[in-house]
Structure 1
């Protein structure tokens, strides 16, 4: 279904469709915009949120070329770090900034990004968050009021059959924010138990962190049990989910956790750090059951969750039942597309 929307332009990271650099934000942008009709996309090249002078100039020129009064949807990764580009155009355009995760909440982020983001968001005609947690975080961090929320959906997927519980899957860019180093520490604590783990996600966003993870695997003697698959998409990613017993999300920060919905759409339970909007993504069944385990965002908390999962067949059976029941309530992408279109229409009015 295509939803009519008053968007003259949408500013996205240039790598939004790059299969070597998948991210939850890119998937969100692509899935939502695919269902909004009449969108002119502007691909913003650069290492956002720290672009070069040439990349800032290119974005400024693209915005300057838009007609007065145009409604412009901007991905926050691009917009929020460059107030010197966005704010001067906010007087004649109607910018709507879509924030997945506040820039300063990324692990190791430059603290100065908070002030730059605040300037952009206060100049915007509207700010949209992708989780209730993100909305409340933006309100407290930047003094915004009543930020609307448009949570992600998930593509329909076949039910994963599950096996003996030992096949673990972690999906996300290998970065400090996503916490794969914490997961390796947790796996070392349960090394005496049978399991295998796949780390699926780009390896080029934080090379130093990838090196740290590889060294930790070698130090703990786990290199033959943990695969760093790099980025997967399409049939290859679907296959990884299909053979998984448990999705593990060890993030230090997470606005929502789209991979949680992707797992639940297949009936795969989740073990996750209880951070940000993950609890919101995980949700509950109609009877109030949680289809996974939420733990402290550290190696010990993750290890305790893994131990419980691996050692208790009744727990595995209960969480699988809950995940399969939750699968029926995972929304598709038509819902967020329609919600975002309504917000854009309100800005135009």
Structure 2
């Protein structure tokens, strides 16, 4: 019999990394432990999803050593890239945590995308159950990866509920806040290009995100300097939690020009702070951002993004209405204990 009260959670690198997927994993582990479960975190190589042979072997050795009566949740950043023959030899019941399929990452070489699609598809066949953060990701696994619907459970990310949320304190000129790792997929380059078209308006902007790709950070800094926006656009990088909370309170608009999202935890954060949202119509975003709380445009369309931002900045009544809709949606979002409860039910059902 499987013991769902004792389990392992395997993921690449450091679980405290500040990206949406890692935040989800960390909060899920905390929530499962709060249920009285014993959760051992296994840190696989941070080279995933493109490990070398030694890193792959080390990961598979660790996973194959797990007992057959205790489940393991494996984060998709590693799970989808593991050697399928090695995955077949894992004795522990596998629950895959797929934030978004690896082959859907932007700017992948075609041969790597095809390889990751094949390995993830093969490995998903070995998972007893699969957790996903959104209906969009669930449908993608059904349509493109031949996963049967009965094995997939949507565990939407939670938010931190507060009895008395801090009151917004918007500053002047209006602050446009963007939060997302400094990685090409987040489209910060598109946002900068859009902001450059709004030089005639009065605004300030801050882009917050953990530096993920050093070369991309350098490119973003050069783009800001060339655009002449340095005086009012800050590429803040990683910031402390207190400053981020303050930025959410001071902002008037949340903007993210993402090229793809399997969910997008930052949108829930923006909603919970009552911020109207300007973003892109891609992946799970249309299911995450209510139509009355935001303006969505096509990915990689800086002129359209600029037009949406111009509307948000130039029409205070519309902005206020969308902010009110965002606050209503934010108040109805699940908490992290709800997310953990769904995952706990999946574990308990392994039998």
TM-score, normalisation: structure 2: 0.90
**Alignment partner, residue 346 of structure 1:** 349
CA shift in 2, pair 1:125/1:270, >3 Å: same
Q: Does structure 1 residue 337 correspond to structure 2 residue 340? A: yes
1:158 aligned partner = 166
- How many residue pairs get aligned? The number is 335
The answer on whether the counterparts of 2:82 and 2:119 sit within 8 Å (CA) in structure 1 is: yes
Q: Which runs of 5+ in 1 are unaligned?
A: 285-289
Partner of 1:40 in structure 2?
A: 40
Quickly say closer, same or farther: Cα 1:172–1:309, change in 2 above 3 A: same
SS at match of 1:35: helix
**Alignment match of 1:213 (pick from 210, 220, 224):** 220
Q: CA 1:7 to 1:120, structure 2 compared with 1: closer, same or farther past 3 Å?
A: farther
* 1:60–1:85 Cα contact (<8 Å) kept: no
- Find the aligned partners of 2:339 and 2:271 in 1 and give their Cα distance: 18
Q: CA contact under 8 A between 1:63 and 1:89: conserved in structure 2?
A: no
Query: Alpha-carbon deviation of 1:309?
Result: 0.5
Answer whether contact 1:86 1:120 (CA < 8 A) is retained: no
Q: Provide the rounded CA distance (Å) in 1 between the counterparts of 2:281 and 2:167.
A: 25
Report what 2:22 is aligned to.
26
Q: Which range moved further: 171-180 or 227-236?
A: 227-236
Bigger Cα displacement from structure 2, 209-218 vs 191-200: 209-218
Task: Report the counterpart of residue 167 of structure 1 in structure 2.
Answer: 175
Q: Is the contact made by 1:70 and 1:94 (CA closer than 8 Å) also made in structure 2?
A: yes
Question: 1:34, 1:93 → 2: CA distance?
Answer: 21
- Partner residue of 2:99? 100
When residues 269 and 117 of structure 1 are mapped into structure 2, their CA distance, relative to the original with a 3 A threshold, is: same
Query: Contact 1:7/1:72 (CA < 8 Å) preserved in 2?
Result: no
- CA shift at 1:104, angstroms? 1.0
Partners of 1:261 and 1:165 lie apart in 2 by: 24
Task: Describe the shift of the 1:86–1:23 C-alpha distance in structure 2 as closer, same or farther (beyond 3 A).
Answer: farther
Of stretches 81-90 and 135-144 in structure 1, the one that deviates more from structure 2 is: 81-90
Q: Pairwise mapping of residues 179-218 of structure 1 onto structure 2 (< 5 A)?
A: 179-203=187-211, 205-218=212-225
1:159 touches 1:265 (CA, 8 Å); kept in 2? no
> Per the alignment, in what secondary structure is the counterpart of residue 101 of structure 1?
coil
- Aligned counterparts of 1:296 and 1:12: Cα–Cα separation in 2: 32
CA RMSD across the alignment: 1.8
- Tell me if the contact between 2:4 and 2:71 (Cα under 8 Å) persists in the aligned partners: no
Aligned residue number for residue 287 of structure 1: none
- What is the Cα deviation at residue 219 of structure 1? 2.0
Superposition pairs for residues 114-133 of structure 1, below 5 Å? 114-133=117-136
The CA deviation at 1:304 is 1.3
* SS at 1:25 equivalent: helix
Q: Cα offset for 1:30?
A: 0.8
Q: Displacement of 1:274 after TM fit?
A: 1.3
Question: 2:307: which partner in 1?
Answer: 304
CA separation of 1:125 and 1:274: change in aligned 2, threshold 3 A:
same
| Distance verdict in 2 for CA 1:127–1:83, change over 3 Å | farther
